[in-house]
Structure 1
Amino acid sequence: MYSVLIVDDEPEIRLGLKLKVDWERLGLNVAGEAGNGAEAMEWLSQHPADVIITDMNMPVMNGVSFLEACYEQYPALRLIVITGYEDFQYAKAAIRNQARNYLLKPVTQDELTETLGKIVQELDGLRNERDQQAMMQWRLSQYYKEMKEHFLVHLVKEEVERESVLRERAKWFQLDAWESRQVRFVTSGLIERHTTQQERSPDKLRLPFEMLCREAAENSKGLFHVFRDANYAGLMHFVTATEEGELESFIQNLRHAVTEHLGYEPAIGTGQTVTGLRQWKDGYLSALLAWNLKGNDGSNVIQHGAMEAVLSEETTKVLQRYVTRGDLVAFEQAVYKELSASFAASQARFVKLIFQLYLMLDTMAFTAGIALESSEQLWLRPEQVWGFDTTAKAQQFLNKLAVKIMAGPEKDSLDADHSMIQAAEQFIQDNYMYDLNLTMLAERFNYNSSYFSEMFKAKAGKTFIQYITDVRMAKAVQLLEETMLSLWDIAELTGFSNASYFSSKFKRMYGVSPSDYRVRLKSPEKFDNQQPKK
């Protein structure tokens, strides 16, 4: 809706104008009235407006002076002059101050509606242009790149939300067209070797390796999207819909750049082809498995053949529940059954199952804030898996990880609770843009909802709702300050249900609307947004 201010010294004229037009149908709203130019300028100093309909012959401040003041102070306003005098000076003043139309009283309903309709079309065009410019600016920002990468990680790691939300977020990050494409994931990392003593280990080269991978993706002109999974700090991942030849060329160029600059030849695994955003998790897992299986044959690029996951998603969830509930016996029995079946089938299937079970447990440990020893991290030294040549050895390794996760952080109970709340806070800060609730978070960290709620408030100093609202609002303020995105866009990106709810919460916290906050940013009297009203 665009706001309209009607200025005329005769109340009956103002009423007549209001009754002549179906304002809502045109997308307009009569936001205010004024009896003369002075009253109108006072109103404009306190309220936003898009269109002004004004008389010319008024007391105190006449139409000529009012038009000049509007043109000087509010050049973006659309002005319509309606007067009973066909006076050359009035017409000249209207033209000089860029009034869109000069109408003579009595103005007809059709005439006024047509004039307003043209102005609405003009305003719509300008708004669309601004939105496109804001979107371009947004997509060039570092914040956009970070959020896009977070969305990629969320797609391949977390439970995917309902279809409508998934499609909307994919559209935000220009990934909606990828829904119907066949894509492949590529995992790349530097191998820890023990054959020679080297001053520069892969661990010390993580940052330059990451920069080279990001540069390679940037140079691909959108053909490859890159992301990093915090669970595997030394690995970088790509997703692409390119043909086999282009994929091979990208891999060769990446290998050459890393070898030339870092002196290490990276190991690279490519996953199976998948179609549909909901299948990206399987594609990502297959690339991880491919990368983990690279070490035994000495090759540095593992192709995607037969990289399909061995463990079904349903079985994975069952095992996760056993670990979450602390049911070690049930976990051991279920894992033994899976290991035995895979061992009897083939060595390759057995090894893939071990890696998949490890990846599941490693993710659970990371979420719970439990640090694994170097010897317990297969992604650091994937060659370890080839030493698990019996079901018993693999079971022992996996049981040890499960027991460690079930036991929780090695601290007293109070410290353990504090550590868990810190992990919950970090999860909120990483996922504030998604639909979060207390029950889901409590289940994720294996707590009763009521106890978790009380503990969260005691440790964090505020309720769960207050905490997540503060996190979302801080991100919203950042977007208001750094971008020109619309309030609808900002609300959606920060996890608020709609723009109206966001605006009301914002005004309650900061004492001013989001739109007015942006206006104040341009003035020297910028207020402190770190001290919201309570």
Structure 2
Amino acid sequence: MRKVIITDDEIQVRKGLRFKVDWEVEGFEIVAEASNGQEALELLKNIDVDLIITDMRMPIMDGVELAKRCYEQYPHVKLIVLSGYSDFDYVRGSMKEGVRDYLLKPVAPDELEEALRRIRKEIEEEKKSQIESDRMRQLVHSHLQQVQEQYFLQLVKGEWLQLGMVKERLLQLQLEELADENVTVQFATVEIRESEDNPNRLKELWLPFQMLCKEIAKEHEGTYSFYDPSYTNMVQFLQLLDSKTPEQTPNLVKSIQEKVKKYLNLETVIGIGNVVKGLEEFRNGYISSLLSWSQSQLGGQSQVIDETAAREAVFDFSPDFERKLTNAIENVDIEMFKENLNNVLGGAKAQSVLSFTFVANRVLFLLGSLVKKYDTETKDIQNTIWNCQQSIWELNSQNRVIEFLIQLAQLIVEKVRLARFSNSKLIESIRHYLDEHYANEISLTSLSKLFHINSAYLSETFKHQVGQNFSDYLVHLRMEKAKHFLKDQQLKIIDVANLVGFSNSGYFSTVFKKHFGQTPVEFRKSELS
């Protein structure tokens, strides 16, 4: 039902209008009355209205002034102005200010019905057009946003090839502000909880929660949300910080808690991470937000835990140490992995519980990225990752955490060993990696270094297993992705080029035409026909 406000300074006229037509049959519902334009405007602050029927002459604020104010403040609201014959020219002149129709007093029922039907049709057409426009905007945004979110996860968990490549990819994904080498950010981990301990309700509201987080991120400049599948019922926020606006994070946290409570009636537990500077520190900032969250109390009450404790901790996890662990796994040397792990986490080395937890999480993240890299996420590995996460969050058994990390490393080493001796498994892992990172600048040389394989051997093996050489396979993969994006009419050609890893739209068009025999523009037109 479309909602209507009747505005007239004479109560008898308002009552008369109620009985002129069958409002329900015409698809309208009278939700309020006002005696002048000012009262109508006050009502609009609290009621979502489609139509106002207003008298021309009223005290305080007349119908034409009301129409002008509505046009400025509530442009979607339609107006019908009632007037005497002598005011005809004045009312007609006011129609450019948002008045959709006028009726002479006394109002004839059939004329009112006709006016209502015209306006109902107009409202329906506008809403249909708005829905389609919103759908297209959402589709465009979701394509870009989906790729952005996937890349955020790579930034905080994946293995980087080169910092320069990361910056170039950020530019392609319209994330220029993150590509600054001095970028300062803060992560926040947001978990939803149900005060009545109803896990089914959390499952039902999971998607609405994700969508709400995206809307909240849009409202806060320089803020992005993304989802890490490793953590249930959680959404992560990345916020660029500006020294001129120190209240950014408190404002974001307040908005999250208020809106999740208002729209979903759920409690939120928010862990705020360390402020970090530079892309290389994103992973540390992300983990510190998880550590803050891990200090929350059990139960359904809302909580905010900041990074104060984590800021004081000393985290012994250098890039050199990370490389040693990675090399041990990829060289299938479990003893070397144990030795390096114990050097940092084991023995009698003095360290805080928080520092131990941070390093353990970094190791777990590293192992998780290797699982993803080699596409080895079996049920045993998933269970071991879960057990390891739980033991870390319990913060009560150092040896148990180390045991789980070694157990997970052993499972991964066996998968890597299998890949080393099985060309099909190796190429399967590489194809999985390419499917995840197809838009990055990837060469045969960089892949061979990443997977610790001779580049000539990799080239020969890849062509034998796949039936295409590496470069042709990568181009085909990018072009198939491009076809998917080109079906979205709202994306520009340069946007599509950037999404699939091309910084130059001209070169992208050339490659696309060579691959499919038509330009991206021609392909898009053919999809419409």
Which TM class, normalised by the smaller chain length?
Answer: 0.5 to 0.7
Q: Deviations over 1:427-482 (max 9, x none)?
A: 32222211012343344445554554444445444332222111111223344442
Q: Where does structure 1 lack aligned partners over 5 or more consecutive residues?
A: 1-135, 525-534
Q: Which residue of the partner structure matches residue 170 of structure 1?
A: 171
- Tell whether the 8 Å contact from 1:292 to 1:355 is kept in structure 2 after alignment: no
Distance 2:252 2:503 in 1: 41
Q: Which residue of the partner structure matches residue 183 of structure 1?
A: 185
- Deviation of 1:289 after TM superposition, in Å, equals 3.1
- Tell whether the 8 Å contact from 2:183 to 2:279 is kept in structure 1 after alignment: no
For the residue of structure 1 that corresponds to 2:439, the secondary structure is coil
- Tell whether the 8 Å contact from 1:294 to 1:302 is kept in structure 2 after alignment: yes
- Deviation of 1:358 after TM superposition, in Å, equals 1.9
- Tell whether the 8 Å contact from 1:191 to 1:380 is kept in structure 2 after alignment: no
- Tell whether the 8 Å contact from 2:328 to 2:337 is kept in structure 1 after alignment: yes
- When residues 458 and 379 of structure 1 are mapped into structure 2, their CA distance, relative to the original with a 3 A threshold, is same
1:236 correspondence with 2:235:
yes
Q: Where does structure 2 lack aligned partners over 5 or more consecutive residues?
A: 1-135
Distance 1:187 1:321 in 2: 31
- Deviation of 1:166 after TM superposition, in Å, equals 1.2
Of residues 398, 405, 408, the one that matches 2:405 is: 398
- When residues 393 and 299 of structure 1 are mapped into structure 2, their CA distance, relative to the original with a 3 A threshold, is farther
Larger mean CA deviation between 231-240 and 251-260 belongs to: 251-260
Q: Deviations over 1:48-95 (max 9, x none)?
A: xxxxxxxxxxxxxxxxxxxxxxxxxxxxxxxxxxxxxxxxxxxxxxxx
- Tell whether the 8 Å contact from 2:329 to 2:409 is kept in structure 1 after alignment: yes
Instruction: Report 1:210-221 matches (<5 A).
Output: 210-218=210-218, 220-221=219-220
- Tell whether the 8 Å contact from 1:354 to 1:394 is kept in structure 2 after alignment: yes
- When residues 257 and 503 of structure 1 are mapped into structure 2, their CA distance, relative to the original with a 3 A threshold, is closer
- When residues 379 and 240 of structure 1 are mapped into structure 2, their CA distance, relative to the original with a 3 A threshold, is farther
Q: Deviations over 1:180-225 (max 9, x none)?
A: 55321111235799xx97552866764344233223323x243421
Instruction: Report 1:78-477 matches (<5 A).
Output: 140-157=140-157, 158-159=159-160, 161-163=162-164, 166=167, 169-170=170-171, 172-176=173-177, 179=180, 180-190=182-192, 198-200=198-200, 206-218=206-218, 220-232=219-231, 234-241=233-240, 243=245, 245-258=247-260, 265-294=267-296, 300-307=303-310, 309-340=315-346, 343-368=349-374, 369-371=376-378, 372-374=381-383, 376-377=385-386, 381=390, 384-388=393-397, 390=398, 392-408=399-415, 418=424, 421-477=427-483
Q: Which residue of the partner structure matches residue 71 of structure 2?
A: none
- Tell whether the 8 Å contact from 2:332 to 2:416 is kept in structure 1 after alignment: no
- Tell whether the 8 Å contact from 1:206 to 1:234 is kept in structure 2 after alignment: yes
- Deviation of 1:271 after TM superposition, in Å, equals 1.2
- When residues 249 and 430 of structure 1 are mapped into structure 2, their CA distance, relative to the original with a 3 A threshold, is same
- When residues 210 and 474 of structure 1 are mapped into structure 2, their CA distance, relative to the original with a 3 A threshold, is same
- Tell whether the 8 Å contact from 1:311 to 1:353 is kept in structure 2 after alignment: yes
- When residues 263 and 383 of structure 1 are mapped into structure 2, their CA distance, relative to the original with a 3 A threshold, is farther
What amino acid sits opposite 1:154 in the alignment? Q
Distance 2:177 2:518 in 1: 36
- Deviation of 1:487 after TM superposition, in Å, equals 5.2
For the residue of structure 2 that corresponds to 1:377, the secondary structure is helix
For the residue of structure 2 that corresponds to 1:387, the secondary structure is coil
For the residue of structure 2 that corresponds to 1:236, the secondary structure is strand
Higher relative contact order (CA 8 A, sep 6+): 2
For the residue of structure 2 that corresponds to 1:183, the secondary structure is strand
Distance 1:417 1:235 in 2: 38
What amino acid sits opposite 1:145 in the alignment? Q
- When residues 191 and 344 of structure 1 are mapped into structure 2, their CA distance, relative to the original with a 3 A threshold, is farther
Q: Deviations over 1:462-510 (max 9, x none)?
A: 3322221111112233444424766555444322474454343323222
- When residues 512 and 167 of structure 1 are mapped into structure 2, their CA distance, relative to the original with a 3 A threshold, is closer
- Tell whether the 8 Å contact from 1:370 to 1:408 is kept in structure 2 after alignment: no
- Matched residues, percent identical? 25
Larger mean CA deviation between 160-169 and 312-321 belongs to: 160-169
Q: Deviations over 1:126-170 (max 9, x none)?
A: xxxxxxxxxx97995321222222333333334264548715733
What amino acid sits opposite 1:142 in the alignment? S
Aligned-residue CA RMSD (Å): 4.0
- Deviation of 1:331 after TM superposition, in Å, equals 1.1
- Tell whether the 8 Å contact from 1:351 to 1:385 is kept in structure 2 after alignment: no
- Tell whether the 8 Å contact from 1:231 to 1:363 is kept in structure 2 after alignment: no
What amino acid sits opposite 2:221 in the alignment? G
- When residues 360 and 169 of structure 1 are mapped into structure 2, their CA distance, relative to the original with a 3 A threshold, is closer
- When residues 456 and 301 of structure 1 are mapped into structure 2, their CA distance, relative to the original with a 3 A threshold, is farther
- Tell whether the 8 Å contact from 1:432 to 1:472 is kept in structure 2 after alignment: yes
- Tell whether the 8 Å contact from 1:138 to 1:485 is kept in structure 2 after alignment: no
Q: Deviations over 1:229-281 (max 9, x none)?
A: 34446432111135553422432442354456667533321111123344333
What amino acid sits opposite 1:307 in the alignment? A
- Tell whether the 8 Å contact from 1:258 to 1:265 is kept in structure 2 after alignment: yes
- Tell whether the 8 Å contact from 1:292 to 1:382 is kept in structure 2 after alignment: no
Distance 2:415 2:476 in 1: 29
Distance 1:310 1:183 in 2: 21
- The TM-score, its normalising length taken from structure 2, stands at 0.61
Larger mean CA deviation between 425-434 and 457-466 belongs to: 457-466
- The TM-score, its normalising length taken from structure 1, stands at 0.60
